[in-house]
Amino acid sequence: MQDTLFYIFSALTLLCGILVVFNPFSRNPVTSAMFLVLTIISMSGLFVLLKAFFLAAVQILVYAGAVIVLFLFVIMLLDVKEEERRRFQKFGTFMGLISVIGLAAIIINTTNQTFTIANQSEVQSIKETFNQSGAAETKPLGKLLFTEYVLPFEIVSLLLLVAMVGCILLSKRNTSKEEAK
């Protein structure tokens, strides 16, 4: 059952990821954003399979709820018609495809070799601990977040404040300076 779910979710993630980048039917950024939502939701399904329930919820809330809405607002502010008229540059696409496929082949090969070389008994022991554990992990996650990682947590909240101030500063029309000119 879990294997089938893994294959369904990963196929959905990869398919929608490809459709974000190369959609043969539409060049519209809105379509890309919608497929990004599907990618993120199926990836949160993978998180559930990995027993990271809290992160699955956060993934859907933050990405599908906030980031994609932000993308859609910005796409509405800009001109999408221009993008639809553009074609792919053949040479650039071809070279990009070759180099990225080469990179993927190298990394996958390295991963395979690592798993072949790795000590089999160690892999076995990891599998055993994995089969024993299975409790809900949200409570220990919260405990860890508010004890050991409380300083990074506060720093991240400061980062969010800085991002908010930066956004307001960047998107505000600079009227006083233009009047002075």
Partner 1 sequence: MNIDLEQFLIVSIILFCIGLLGVVVRRNLIVMYMGLELMLNAANLALVSFSHFRDNLDGQILVFFIITVAAAEVAVGLALIVALYRKRQTTDVNELTSMKL
Radius of gyration of the chain measured on its C-alpha atoms: 22
What phi and psi values does residue 42 have, to the nearest 5 degrees?
Answer: -70, -30
Q: Rounded distance, CA 34 to CA 39, Å?
A: 9
- The helix/strand/coil state of 86 is coil
Tell me the closest approach of the beta carbon of residue 180 to partner 1, in angstroms.
18
Instruction: Tell me: does residue 93 bind partner 1 (CB under 8 A).
Output: yes
Interface pick for partner 1 out of 8, 136, 150, 163 (rule CB under 8 A):
163
Residues 57-76 that bind partner 1 (CB under 8 A): 58-59, 62-63, 66-67, 70-71, 74-75
- DSSP states of 19-55: HHH--SS---HHHHHHHHHHHHHHHHHHHHHTT-HHH
Q: Which of residues 30-59 bind partner 1 (CB under 8 A)?
A: 32-33, 36, 39-40, 43, 46-47, 49-52, 54-55, 58-59
Which residue, 19, 34, 15, is CA-closest to 75? Answer: 34
| Contact flag: residue 97 with partner 1 (CB under 8 A) | yes
Residue 77 or 180 with smaller CB distance to partner 1: 77
Q: Which of 8, 26, 103, 136 is in the footprint of partner 1 by CB under 8 A? A: 103
Tell which one of 119, 121, 133, 147 touches partner 1 (CB under 8 A). Answer: 133
Cα dihedral sign for 46, 49, 53, 55?
negative
Least distance to partner 1 from the beta carbon of 99, Å? 7
CA distance 47 to 59: 9
Q: Pick between residue 133 and residue 180 the one whose CB is nearest to partner 1.
A: 133
**Residue 146 is a binding residue for partner 1 (CB under 8 A):** no
| Binds partner 1 (CB under 8 A): choice among 26, 112, 113, 120 | 112
Q: Which of 24, 25, 81, 86 binds partner 1 (CB under 8 A)?
A: 86
Beta carbons of 46 and 72 less than 8 angstroms apart: no
Helix (H) or strand (E) holding 164: helix 150-171
The binder of partner 1 chosen from 21, 117, 151, 180 (CB under 8 A): 21
